[in-house]
Amino acid sequence: MYKVLTIAGSDSGGGAGIQADLKTFQELDVFGMSAITAVTAQNTLGVQGVYPMSVEAVTQQIQSIGTDMGADAIKTGMLFSAEIIRAVAAGIEQFGWKHVVVDPVMIAKGGASLLQQEAVEALKEELLPLATVVTPNIPEAEVLTKMKIETMADRQRAAKRLHSMGVTYVVIKGGHDVLDEATDLLYDGTSFFYYTSPKIATKNTHGTGCTFAAAIAAQLAKGQSVQEAVQVAKAFIQAAITDELQIGAGHGPTNHWAYQKSLKQVLR
Ligand SMILES: Nc1ncnc2c1ncn2[C@@H]1O[C@H](COP(=O)(O)OP(=O)(O)O)[C@@H](O)[C@H]1O
Ligand SMILES: Cc1ncc(COP(=O)(O)OP(=O)(O)O)c(N)n1
C-alpha cells in the first residue's frame, strides 16, 4: 500500500484543501494521511474564517507520521505563514522524503488570502529547493517569479525562472487561461511538455488546483514518472470538472468520483 501525506489547510466545505487531497488519494488507490496547517471556515460562497494551527501542532503531526508510518510522497497546499513553511521544510529534510509536490496556494478563488505576503520568500527559499514538482496557477507563478505572464512564451520564461530556484519539475497550470483550452505546461529543465484539454464552462471549479496536485503526488508514490503523473492528474481533474456536482449557491466543488466512474465505463 503506497502512502501519501498532505500538509495543507482544512476546507470545511470539502472541495479544496485536505478534504480534496484525501478524496483524491482514495480514488487513486493510495493511503492518505494529513498534517493540518490551518482550519478554514469555507463554503461555495467564499472563506468566512482562517484559523492557523500553531507551529508546534504542525511539527507534531509531521513527527507522528514520520516516526511511524512513513510516506511515499508528500503534497503541500495552504501553509499560511513563514514559520509553518520552515517547520514543514524541516520535517521533509529530517525524514528524507522524496516525491514532494508543492502547490503554492496563495489566494482562494473568492479572494481570501491563504498565505501571508511575507511568507512568499520563505516558500521560495526553504521549500522550493526541496520540491520535486511545483504547481502554481498563473497568478501564483507571477508572484513567485515577479513577472507578468500573458503569453505561452512568458509562461516558458516563468517556468525556467522557477526551475532555477531549485525545483526539479515545474507545472504552470492553465485553468486561468482566457482561451477555450486549459493548457498545463510542464518543464523539466530541458524540455517543455503540454497537457491540453477543452476548457469547461462552469462555475464549479473550487479545489481544482488541490485535486490536481494531490493526483500528481498519488501517482508519484506509485512509481510513475512526473510526465505520467501529470497526465493522470490532468485526466482526473478533467473528469472531476466535466461530471459536475451541483452543491451550494456559489463556486461548487468538483466531482472526485468521476475519474473512477469514467474508467469503469471504459472497461464495461
Ligand atoms: N474550466 C476548466 N476546464 C478544464 N480544466 C480546468 C478548468 N479550470 C481548471 N482546469 C484545470 O484544473 C487544474 C487546476 O488549474 P487552475 O484552476 O489553474 O489551478 P488553481 O485551482 O490552483 O487556480 C489544471 O489542470 C487546469 O488545467
Ligand atoms: C484550505 C484551502 N486550501 C487551498 C485552497 C485553494 O484551493 P484551489 O485548489 O486553488 O482552489 P480555489 O480556491 O482556487 O477554488 C482553498 N480554497 N482552501
The 10s digit of each residue's pLDDT in 14-65 is 999 999 999 999 999 999 999 999 999 999 999 999 999 999 999 999 999 9
Residue 257 phi, psi (nearest 5):
-80, -15
**Among protein residues, the one whose CA lies closest to atom 4 of ligand 2:** 17
Residue 181 phi, psi (nearest 5):
-130, 150
**Among protein residues, the one whose CA lies closest to atom 11 of ligand 2:** 207
Cell of 181: 483550452
The reply to whether ipTM tops 0.90 is yes
Of the candidates 181, 167, 175, 116, which has an alpha carbon nearest to the alpha carbon of residue 143?
Answer: 116
Beta-bridged to residue 181, according to DSSP, are 198
Beta-bridged to residue 10, according to DSSP, are 39
Residue 4 pLDDT: 98
Residue 33 beta carbon below 6 angstroms from any ligand 2 atom: no
Q: Among the atoms of ligand 2, which is closest to the Cα of residue 40? A: 1
pTM of the model: 0.97
DSSP string, the chain: --EEEEEEEEETTSSSHHHHHHHHHHHTT-EEEEEEEEEEEEETTEEEEEEEPPHHHHHHHHHHIIIII--SEEEE---BSHHHHHHHHHHHHHHT--SEEE----B-TTS-BSB-GGGHHHIIIIIGGG-SEE---HHHHHHHHTS---SHHHHHHHHHHHHTTT-SEEEE--TT-SSSEEEEEEE-SS-EEEEEEEPP--S--BTHHHHHHHHHHHHHHTT--HHHHHHHHHHHHHHHHHS----SSSSPBP-TTHHHHHHHHHH-
Residue 174 beta carbon below 6 angstroms from any ligand 2 atom: no
CATH class for the domain made up of 3-256: alpha beta
The answer to whether the CB of 25 falls within 8 A of the CB of 214 is yes
Residue 263 pLDDT: 87
**Among protein residues, the one whose CA lies closest to atom 15 of ligand 1:** 175
Domain ranges of the chain: 3-256
User: Which residues of the chain are under the pLDDT cut of 50?
Assistant: none
Residue 180 pLDDT: 87
How buried is residue 63: exposed, middle or buried, by Cβ count under 10 Å (0-12/13-18/19+)? Answer: middle
